[in-house]
Amino acid sequence: MGPKQRGTRGLSGFTLVEMLTAIAILAILASLALPAFGDLIKNNRRTVTLNELTAGLMLARAESTRSGRPVVICGVDDANANHLLETTERVCSGLDWRDGWMVASWGDADSDGVLDSGELQAPLRVYLNDYSGINITGSGFAAAPATGVLAMQPFNRASSTGRLTVCDARGEQRSRGIEISSTGRTRVLVNTTEDATTGTALTCP
Average pLDDT of the segment spanning 189-204:
84
* Angle value at C-alpha 139, between 137 and 140, nearest 5 degrees: 165
Q: What is the pTM of this model?
A: 0.81
pLDDT band at 191 (very low <50, low <70, confident <90, very high): confident
Q: Does any domain span residue 36?
A: yes
Domain residues for the domain of 169 are 16-198
Q: Does any domain span residue 157?
A: yes
Sign of CA pseudo-dihedral 182, 113, 51, 34: positive
Q: What percent of the chain has pLDDT over 90?
A: 71
Instruction: Give the CATH number, domain containing residue 112.
Output: 3.55.40.10
Q: Does any domain span residue 9?
A: no
- The pLDDT tens digits for 150-173 are 999 999 899 999 999 999 999 998
pLDDT for 35:
63
| 3 state DSSP class of 152 | strand
* Angle value at C-alpha 108, between 106 and 111, nearest 5 degrees: 155
Q: Does any domain span residue 188?
A: yes
Q: Does any domain span residue 23?
A: yes
